[in-house]
Amino acid sequence: MSETMTLVAAGDGYPNYTEYNKDMVVRLAGSTPSKALTNVLLNIAMVLGVQIIDPILDAMKGALDAAKDAITAALVVPLPYVFSESGETFSDKNASERVTHLRALIEAHRASGSSIDQRAPRWLVIAGKIAPWAEVLGIAVFVTALWNIFWLKPWTDWLSFFTALVLVIGMPIMQKYFAEHGGKAHNDYRLAKYEGLDFQAHEHLAKRNWYIAGTAIVATAGMVILAVRGIMALDAPSLWQLAIIGTMAAIVGYGTAVLAYAAIAVDGTRYSRESDELTVQGEAHAADWQADVATAESALQQAENDEEDIINKDFPKVLEIVRQQPDGDREEALCNLPPLADRAKRTVTLMTRRESLAAELKAVKTDNRPAFLPKNV
């Protein structure tokens, strides 16, 4: 025997139409349909359910699925943040605390009038990174144009081919190694000297000098080989040709090494570099988290709007149409229409799910807030 619904006028015991309609849907969902009074009512209820209620229920379910996915994404613990120079890893919270500590040191340096933590210009950092590749290209162009190297026909001159190959590959690799390590040693020397750590400063200075010597030897040897072999390839070269060859060899041999060295040597301190690197990673996670939360909020708002439409528009519209049919105005008729009861049950299930997801999102915003997220957000 099905539950009997009392279709009271909106407002009788209810604060507003929404509460009345919501209670009507809930009571309809709790009914146990037995049989339809007429096949006409049954068919009408089925058609109306498919045409009017199902699309909005499907949209609501899609919005809730999207909200669940976004909440799940917001709960994902980010991979440990890494300071590339040392390989040290940090959790989100520890990284934030580390950055706070580093910024305090940097501010103390600035307060004393020092600019040692100031990062190198952006153009210099970029130039230093592409310098080794520019050197590869420069040497390749140089030996191809002036040595008459046939890269696809090495058998025409094996000695020149292998000499050129060693210069194109070996010289940039060695220059990159010496320049980067020399720049790092000089950078560490600057900081140790500023902090009064004379012993460490002396060690870093010695390393820097060795690396600079290695850079100079490789650059000079490469430049001499490039220039001499280029001059030999010319028949009675003029002074301007000699000048061009010497200038090109010097740029390729020394210019790229100086850029690679300077980009690291004057690029702040390890304090400022670590602070900046951890901040970039932390802010990226915070931005992703904000995007996930915003997606979840938007999806839940859409689901709530769909819920209001179902309660205040779609079900009342369907029930009104049913009431206009023969026998449709009898209260037991509504309880004996499975298409309506089934959709009411699905509506209540989705309403409960929305409320649950809203509670989950609230907990995420409280308990899983990224450490790098600004406090005013």
Q: Are residues 48 and 67 in the same domain?
A: yes
Is there a domain that residue 97 lies in?
yes
- Alpha helices, H only, the chain: 17-29, 39-48, 54-75, 92-111, 122-146, 158-194, 198-233, 239-250, 256-265, 270-309, 315-323, 331-335, 338-367
Q: Looking at the structure, do residues 133 and 108 belong to the same domain, yes or no?
A: no
Residue 228 shares a structural domain with residue 131? yes
| Residue/partner pairs of 187-190 with CB below 8 Å, 24 or more apart | 187/264, 187/265, 187/266, 187/267, 187/268, 187/269, 187/270, 188/270, 190/116, 190/269
Are 127 and 41 in a shared domain? no
Domain range enclosing 259: 120-267
Supply the pTM of this predicted model.
0.74
State how many domains the chain has: 2
Distance CA 26, CA 19 (A): 10
Quick one: 106 and 2 in the same domain?
yes
The contacts of residue 342 (CB under 8 Å, 6+ apart) are 49
Residue 113, phi-psi category: left (phi > 0), alpha (psi -120 to 50), beta (remainder): left
Residues whose CB is less than 8 angstroms from the CB of residue 58 and which lie 6 or more positions away in sequence, other chains included? none
Domain membership flag for residue 278 = no
Structure tokens at 124: 């210099």
- 277 lies in some domain: no
Residue 324 has which token pair? Answer: 């206009």
- Does some domain include residue 276? no
Tokens of 78: 């980010």
- 331: burial class by Cβ within 10 Å (0-12, 13-18, 19+)? exposed
Q: Which residues contact 308 (CB under 8 A, 6 or more apart)?
A: 18
The answer to whether residue 290 sits within a structural domain is no
Q: How far apart are the first and last CA of the chain?
A: 55
Domain membership flag for residue 167 = yes
- Residues 86, 28 within the same domain: yes
User: Do 12 and 108 fall within a single domain?
Assistant: yes
Q: What is the DSSP string of 247-290?
A: HHHHIIIIIHHHHHHHHHHTS--HHHHHHHHHHHHHHHHHHHHH
Q: Could you tell me if 364 and 301 lie in one domain?
A: yes
User: Is 165 in the same domain as 262?
Assistant: yes
Residue 253 · residue 220 · CB < 8 Å: yes
Q: Other CB atoms closer than 10 Å to residue 226's CB: what's the count?
A: 27
- Of residues 229, 269, 232, 224, the one with CA closest to residue 249: 224
Q: What is the pLDDT along the chain (377 residues), one digit of tens a residue?
A: 233 333 333 344 444 545 655 665 666 565 555 444 455 555 666 666 667 778 888 899 999 999 999 999 999 888 899 999 888 999 999 999 999 999 999 999 999 888 899 998 989 888 888 888 887 887 787 777 776 777 777 787 777 788 788 878 888 888 889 988 999 999 999 999 988 888 999 999 999 999 999 988 888 887 777 777 767 766 666 676 667 766 776 777 777 888 888 889 988 899 999 999 999 999 999 999 999 999 999 999 999 998 888 888 777 777 777 667 665 555 445 555 666 777 778 888 898 999 999 999 999 999 999 999 887 76
In a shared domain, residues 6 and 46: yes
Same domain for 88 and 69 = yes
Look at residue 291 and tell me if it is in a domain: no
Question: Do 235 and 164 sit in the same domain of this protein?
Answer: yes
Residue 376 lies in a domain: no
CB 6 within 8 A of CB 20: no
